[in-house]
Structure 1
Amino acid sequence: MNINSFFGFATVFVYITLALALPAQANPHEYLLDNGLKIIIKEDHRSPVVIQQLWYKAGSIDEVNGTTGVAHALEHMMFKGTSNVPPGEFSRKIAAVGGKENAFTSRDYTAYYQQLHQQHLPMAMQLESDRMRNLQITQEEFSKEMQVVMEERRLRTDDQAHALVYEKLIATAFQAHPYRRPVIGWMNDLENMQIEDAQDWYKRWYTPNNAILVIVGDVNPKETLKLAQESYGKFQANHIPALSERKPQIEPPQTGIKRLVVKAPAKLPYLIMGYKVPVLKDTKNDWEPYALTILSEVLDGNAAARLNKTLVRSTRIAISANAGYSAIARGPGIFYIDGTPSEDKTAHELEQAIRSEIDTIVQSGITQEELARVKAQVVASRTYQLDSTFAQAMQIGRLESIGLSHLDANIILERLQTVTAEQVKAVAEKYLVDDSLTVAVLDPQPLAKTTAQNDQSK
């Protein structure tokens, strides 16, 4: 579950509005339309391919009780047609030119993308901009799609023991913050979702001044800006609070360890431990999120990482043991350590072994060799990611959507390389403590018999 989320490099900042054009500057290029749509274009001429991503700064963090899952439900409805494009036609047109398209919803944002030959970018822009304002949500399509969403929840969460444990851990770890609600929504809310819920969400959040258009690939920035103005510039902005103006949602301090047991069909127990930790807010002056990132890589960044080396290969107390942390988020962070104990071991024994590894770092720190190896791996992985135009677009969109800048990518990489062994030890000592810890254990229940087994028993 290594879920580090820093991406590689960014370059020089260029700010241009339609009213005032500055001299041409380095890649990527940044623009702001009069209606508030932010556009970031990054040239990559290695192949005649382009990525278009449209990011809306609205995710499950912005939902309220009773309508959990509406952000994800609306994502599904965005493929059901507009007043200009019949249901299914969007996907058919992209596929017809050899392109790919999809979407994703997270706690912090919702994004839509197309990857295709650069000559088809005008068509992709027309299609994507059209559904920014002209979506048609009919009762018939909504009712059918909600059945799809509920089945998705059953398959990905309710019938997946580890996913169910994770969901319940998050719901327990956070007392008040909306991160406690699952992105896909609670089943009761999905069962009672009304078409008006989706329509209201669309009208409120799907507006150019709440969106970021990211274009990466074999494009000419000036020509692409003109296309964007023609496609997206015709829509007016809605009154909507910027990220910095939205009501603060502060999680109350945790004052002791939280524990829960989840019963679900499974072969083996499973353990997940979540510590509350900070995330990046000031990329230049924060240091703890960078140290936490290095710590997660020391524990679970490669085959020689501590959890795998000690718990899996040496003592064999675990079949698997992992750590993960994402420093890029609108809300509070969680540092995760999880694992599956070996067949002759218990979740309690695995927890004690994990605690022992943490204590070793708290008492003795990490070695300079470990630090150098992890830093080299971090730099290499971020560099390799940039071979992909899609990864480049993801880097830009994700940073911008949570309130940072795409320019912060360079700062992040530089700051990661300045982390010291003492700082890694310090964050382990400060944050990997019981007062910020939630522990969830899977109590495996008998697996249901398969249809084949049932047939044989008759």
Structure 2
Amino acid sequence: MASGGKMSDTVHETTLDNGLTVLVLPDERAPVVTHQIWYKVGSVDEPGGITGIAHMFEHMMFKGTKTLGPGEFSDIIARLGGEENAFTGRDFTGYYQTLAADELGTVMRWEADRMANLEIDPEEFTREKEVVKEEWRSRVRDNPNARLNQILYATAFTSSGYHHPIIGWKTDIDAYTVEDLQRWYRDHYAPNNATLIVVGNVEPEAVVELAERHYGQVEQRDLAPAKPREEMAQHGLKRASLNIPAKLPRLTMGYKVPSLVTVEDSRTAYALTVTSGILAGDSGARLNNELVRAGKLSSASARYNLNARETTLFTVDATPRDGQPLGEAERLLREQIERLKNEPIEKDELERIKAQVVASDVYQRDSLFYQGMKLGIYETVGLDFRQADQFVEGVRAVTVEDVQAVAREYFRDDGLTIASLQPTSSDDPTALPSPTGGIERVH
């Protein structure tokens, strides 16, 4: 696919009789293919008591079926010279392989086998649960910044599934049962709750024929409609503090903002994306240039994900300089936020940032994997994959007035949560069970 063209113009879309959505994007630049299967379920769908089960189940998908033994699917991919992995996000779970295009049928055969015939062996489950607990210890318990991020989300969100971490609360991990996993598989791992994405040197008709042969044999299931998990309205500033052993203090501020899924006017989501770039898009962006390079903070960043399934957070965070109070770091970040509200951005700066955001998006199209990821994310969170093509146009259309409008509308204390990390002198690193954000990968 030419990097400047529209993806949707060359995507072949079909739906199998069992409800599986199939998206094929031909790309002839190399004789390889990426095969991705996305399930429309993530940590946001987990009820209390089994948080982290989506991530735990992802591990178990590598532990064998009625046909293959534990790890055998991975061995097959390795023998074929391919790569594979999996990921769990707040809004989805995915499995992928990248290998020679002529081996696509082999991958489909065994991925469809996992969809239909997974075996959850109690002994394998017991061993893998210890692996996940070790992952929790290394990535969360012993990672102060991950714990701070988890406290931020747990405080900011009350009723949304974004309240709990992707990896789950430690007490829930301890209490998982085989029956919990079997129920998760039965309720969510069905072709009519999945999207198959194939990107690479392939013919769409041949891919659909392979999909019919392998995935088409998997029976669809009745899926219970998802319960609404709408976040309660916030009516004032929330604060949370974390006092644990750590090398450095840290402050993170999260403003409740809409995503492309939840917003009424898509211009808002694109304006928030550009605003994130203004603050922290590159080394010349405001937080780095005016606070870090100027010696006022040790580090600072901003993040926004427009593809969240629900109301999400626009985050701004900072690490103070040695001896600098966290209150001073907060003041400096707030000054930058207020500047966005009160001072219209110069057009030259706006155009530079928009060009960077667009260039980053276009650059990712050079990767088969990321082309597939973009299609998968849009399709799985509840958007149409064709909306991915609107991103560049949407960013380019953002105006000076749009940036100022979203800053004034959403960067207010009644939608703000501030979490602070203050290091203690204790040598006990196990103070709190905590969550992480982002995406958890298996191996």
Unaligned runs of 5+ in 1: 1-6, 13-25, 451-458
Q: Name the structure 1 match of 2:434.
A: none
SS, match of residue 276 in structure 2: helix
Partner secondary structure for residue 250 of structure 1: coil
Could you say what secondary structure the match of 1:371 adopts? helix
1:358-408 per-position Cα deviation (integer Å, ceiling 9, x unaligned) = 111211121101110011111111111000000100000010000111110
Judge conservation of contact 2:258–2:310 (CA < 8 Å) in 1: no
In 2, distance between residues paired with 1:434 and 1:184? 29
Q: How does 1:411-430 map onto structure 2 within 5 Å?
A: 411-430=390-409
Residue 90 of structure 2, aligned match among 95, 107, 122? 107
Aligned residue type for 2:87: F
Distance 1:10 1:407, change over 3 A: farther
Structure 1 residues 449, 275: CA separation in 2 closer, same or farther (over 3 Å shift)? Answer: closer
Structure 1 residues 301 and 231: alpha-carbon distance in aligned structure 2, compared to 1, 3 A threshold: same
- Give per-residue Cα distances to partners, 1:35-66, cap 9 Å, x unaligned: 00000000000000100000000111111001
Q: 1:363 to 1:318 in 2, by over 3 A?
A: same
Tell me if 1:187 matches 2:183.
no
Within a 5 Å distance, the mapping from 1:55-204 to structure 2 comes to 55-204=38-187
1:436–1:282 distance in 2 versus 1, CA, 3 Å: closer
Residues 439/70 of structure 1: CA separation in 2 closer, same or farther (3 Å cut): same
Q: Deviations over 1:62-110 (max 9, x none)?
A: 1100111111111000000000111111111100111000100011110
Q: Distance in 2 between matches of 1:442 and 1:449?
A: 16
In structure 1, distance between residues paired with 2:412 and 2:343: 16
3-state SS, counterpart of residue 407 of structure 1:
helix
Instruction: Measure the CA separation in 2 of the matches of 1:170 and 1:281.
Output: 19
Equivalent pairs, count: 427
* Closer/same/farther in 2, CA of residues 230 and 284 from structure 1, 3 Å limit: farther
- The 1:174/1:9 distance shift into structure 2, 3 A limit, reads farther
The counterpart of 1:11, out of the listed 3, 7, 19, is: 7
Matching residue of 1:323 = 302
Checking the alignment, whether the CA contact within 8 Å between 1:397 and 1:406 is kept in structure 2 is yes
- Partner amino acid, structure 1, of 2:266: D
How far 1:186 sits from its partner (Å)? 0.4
Corresponding residue for residue 320 of structure 2: 341
List runs of 5+ in structure 2 lacking aligned partners: 430-443
**How far apart, in 1, do the equivalents of 2:5 and 2:403 lie?**
23
Displacement, 1:344? 2.8
Shift of 1:212: 0.1
**Matched residue, 2:433:** none
**Structure 2 contact 261–381 (Cα < 8 Å) conserved:** no
Matched, 1:398 2:377: yes
Query: In the TM superposition, what whole-angstrom CA distance separates every residue of 1:424-454 from its partner, at most 9, and x where no partner exists?
Result: 011111111111110011011237499xxxx
What SS does the corresponding residue of 2:180 show, helix, strand or coil? helix
Helix, strand or coil: the match of 2:217?
coil
TM-score scaled by length of structure 2: 0.94
The aligned runs of 1:275-314 (5 Å cut-off) are 275-281=255-261, 285-314=265-294
Q: Kindly provide the amino acid, as one letter, of the partner of residue 322 in structure 1.
A: S
Q: 1:67 to 1:357 in 2, by over 3 A?
A: same
- Over aligned residues, Cα RMSD in angstroms? 1.7
Preserved contact between residue 245 and residue 425 of structure 2 (Cα < 8 Å): yes
1:358 aligns with 2:337: yes
Q: Distance in 2 between matches of 1:36 and 1:371?
A: 44
Residue of structure 1 equivalent to 2:28: 45
Q: Choose from 193, 204, 221 the match for 1:221.
A: 204
CA contact (8 A) 1:9 1:409 kept: no
Q: Distance in 2 between matches of 1:32 and 1:278?
A: 30
What CA distance in whole angstroms lies between the structure 2 residues aligned with 1:164 and 1:257?
20
